């Protein structure tokens, strides 16, 4: 059972209602994570703004989804794994093999592999990466701007992972479970 309440978009008011209407208009639905974030319009707005900004970045939507799965697996966030598997499959049209591999930080091409490995390293080292870690993504062809975007995607996904793990948000996508629970 959820620890935090998912608000009903039909009865929401004020800034929360405005944000729910924008999400509904874009997605056709207000997912439970956003309904729960709606308890704090500042949080929901911040999430939507950062998500939108990164979505328009140079890494692209596909890479963003793969990063989300790598980070979600690292943080054992079943809600995010479920949501991003659904989005990756149905909206971004990423094949199932690439989605599964991304959870382990693996990809078919060297640049994406370096991105996913860097994302997982950021999580495992709490952002305290080494010169070698940064040199490795630069050697794979990432610009400093792209490295910044990877960090932004990781930060965004840590936010949603921690939020959903704390809230125990009810999964409203086909469920996907992390491979190993964090002890």
pLDDT digit string, tens, across residues 34-81: 999 999 999 999 999 999 999 999 999 999 999 999 999 999 999 999
Half-sphere exposure of 120 (CA within 13 A, CB side): 18
Q: Is the pTM of this model over 0.85?
A: yes
Q: What is the CATH number of domain 60-167?
A: 1.20.1290.10
Q: pLDDT value at position 163?
A: 98
Q: pLDDT value at position 109?
A: 95
Tell whether the model's pLDDT for residue 4 goes beyond 50. yes
For residues 42 and 48, give the distance between their C-alpha atoms in angstroms, rounded to a whole number.
Answer: 10
Tell whether the model's pLDDT for residue 1 goes beyond 90. no
Domain boundaries of the chain, sorted by first residue: 14-55, 60-167
For residues 161 and 172, give the distance between their C-alpha atoms in angstroms, rounded to a whole number.
Answer: 15
pLDDT digit string, tens, across residues 14-45: 999 999 999 999 999 999 999 999 999 999 99
For residues 38 and 32, give the distance between their C-alpha atoms in angstroms, rounded to a whole number.
Answer: 10
Quick one: tokens of 45? 């707005």
CA angle 111, 137, 122 (to 5 degrees): 110
pLDDT digit string, tens, across residues 128-172: 999 999 999 999 999 999 999 999 999 999 999 999 999 999 999
State the CB neighbour count (10 A cutoff) for residue 43.
15
How would DSSP label each residue in 134-181?
A: HHHHHHTT--HHHHHHHHHHHHHHHHHHHHHHHHTPPP-SS----SS-
């Amino acid at each position: 059972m959820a620890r935090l309440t998912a608000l009903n978009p039909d009865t929401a008011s004020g800034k929360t209602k405005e944000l729910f209407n924008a999400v509904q208009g874009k997605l056709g639905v207000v997912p439970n994570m956003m309904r729960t974030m709606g308890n704090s319009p500042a949080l929901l707005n911040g999430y939507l703004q950062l998500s939108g900004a990164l979505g328009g970045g140079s890494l692209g939507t596909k890479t963003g989804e793969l990063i989300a799965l790598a980070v979600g697996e690292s943080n054992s966030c079943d809600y995010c794994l479920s949501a991003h598997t659904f989005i990756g499959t149905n909206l971004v049209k990423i094949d199932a093999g690439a989605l599964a591999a991304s959870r382990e930080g693996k990809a078919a091409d060297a640049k994406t592999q370096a991105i996913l490995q860097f994302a997982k390293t950021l999580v495992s080292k709490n952002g305290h990466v080494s010169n070698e870690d940064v040199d490795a993504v630069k050697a794979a062809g990432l610009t400093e701007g792209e490295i910044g975007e990877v960090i932004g995607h990781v930060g965004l996904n840590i936010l949603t992972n921690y939020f959903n793990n704390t809230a125990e948000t009810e999964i409203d996508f086909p469920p996907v479970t992390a491979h190993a629970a964090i002890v």
